[in-house]
Structure 1
Amino acid sequence: MRIDRLGDLGTAAEVVRAVAGAAARHAMPPPAALVGDWFGAGAVIAPSVSVQPIDPVEAFAVPPGRRDGAVGGGWIGYLSYPDAAADDAPPRIPEAAGGWTDSVLRLDADGCWWHESLSGAALQPWVAAALSSPPMREYYEIDWEEPDFAQHQAGVLACLAAIGAGEVYQACVCTQFTGRLRGSSLEFFADAVTRTMPARAAYVAGDWGAVASLSPELFIRRAGDEVTSSPIKGTLPLHSPPADLLASAKDVAENIMIVDLVRNDLGRVADTGTVTVPELLTVRAAPGVWHLVSTVAATVRAEVPNATLLAATFPPASVTGTPKGRARQLLSQWEPKRRGVYCGTVGMASPIAGTELNVAIRTVEFDAAGGAVLGVGGGITADSDAEAEWQECLHKAAPTVDYVRERSTAS
Structure 2
Amino acid sequence: MRMERLGRGGTVDRVLGALAERARILAIPAPAALSGEWFGAAAVLVPSVSVESVPPAEVFSLPADAPGPGGADRRFQRSDDRPLIGGGRIGYLAYPDRIPDRPALPLAASGWTDTVLRLDADGCWWYETLGTAPCPDDLAAAVLDSPSTAAPPTNATESTNATDWHIDWTPPRRDEHRRGVEHCLDAIRAGEVYQACVCTRFTGRWDGDPLAFFADGISRTDPPRAAYLQGSWGAVASLSPELFVSLHGDTLRSSPIKGTLPLSADPAGLRASVKDVAENVMIVDLVRNDLGRVAETGSVRVEDLLTVRPAPGVWHLVSTVAAERRPGVTVADVLDAAFPPASVTGCPKLRARTLLTRWEGSARGVYCGTVGMSSPIAGTELNVAIRTVEFGHDDSGNGVCALGVGGGITIDSDPDAEWQECLDKAASILALGDARAAVQHTSSGGDGNS
| Category of TM-score, reference length = shorter chain | over 0.9
Distance 1:21 1:154 in 2: 47
- In the alignment, structure 1 residue 10 sits paired with structure 2 residue 6: no
| Maintained 8 Å contact 2:10/2:146 | no
Secondary structure of the 1:213 match is strand
Distance 1:403 1:117 in 2: 34
In the other structure, the counterpart of 1:94 is: 106
| Maintained 8 Å contact 2:203/2:402 | yes
Identical-residue share of aligned pairs (%): 62
Aligned-residue RMSD, C-alpha = 1.4
In the other structure, the counterpart of 1:375 is: 404
Match of 2:94 among 76, 80, 99: 80
Distance 2:242 2:10 in 1: 25
Match of 2:285 among 234, 254, 260: 260
| Maintained 8 Å contact 2:9/2:145 | no
Matches within 5 A, 1:357-372: 357-368=382-393, 369-372=398-401
Matches within 5 A, 1:106-185: 106-134=118-146, 137-185=162-210
Distance 1:31 1:3 in 2: 19
In the other structure, the counterpart of 2:296 is: 271
Structure 2 counterpart of 1:196, one-letter code: T
Secondary structure of the 2:186 match is helix
Secondary structure of the 1:292 match is strand
Structure 2 counterpart of 1:378, one-letter code: G
In the other structure, the counterpart of 1:404 is: 433
Tell me the TM-score normalized by structure 2: 0.89
In the other structure, the counterpart of 1:25 is: 25
- In the alignment, structure 1 residue 71 sits paired with structure 2 residue 85: yes
Q: How many residues align?
A: 409
Deviation of 1:128 after TM superposition, in Å, equals: 2.7
Structure 1 counterpart of 2:385, one-letter code: A
Secondary structure of the 2:428 match is helix
Tell me the TM-score normalized by structure 1: 0.97
Distance 2:326 2:9 in 1: 38
**Unpaired runs of 5+ in structure 2?**
72-76, 148-160, 441-450
| Maintained 8 Å contact 1:169/1:321 | yes
Deviation of 1:409 after TM superposition, in Å, equals: 6.0
Distance 2:106 2:323 in 1: 31
Deviation of 1:405 after TM superposition, in Å, equals: 3.4
Deviation of 1:70 after TM superposition, in Å, equals: 1.4
Distance 1:134 1:7 in 2: 12
Q: Which moved more, 1:349-358 or 1:132-141?
A: 132-141
Structure 1 counterpart of 2:421, one-letter code: E
Deviation of 1:89 after TM superposition, in Å, equals: 4.8
| Maintained 8 Å contact 2:216/2:432 | no
| Maintained 8 Å contact 2:260/2:314 | yes
Q: Which has the higher contact order (CA 8 A, sep 6+)?
A: 1
In the other structure, the counterpart of 2:447 is: none
Q: Which moved more, 1:247-256 or 1:332-341?
A: 332-341
| Maintained 8 Å contact 2:15/2:146 | no
Distance 1:338 1:117 in 2: 38
Can you list the C-alpha shifts for 1:59-80, whole angstroms capped at 9, x where unaligned? 1113861242411000001000
**Unpaired runs of 5+ in structure 1?**
none
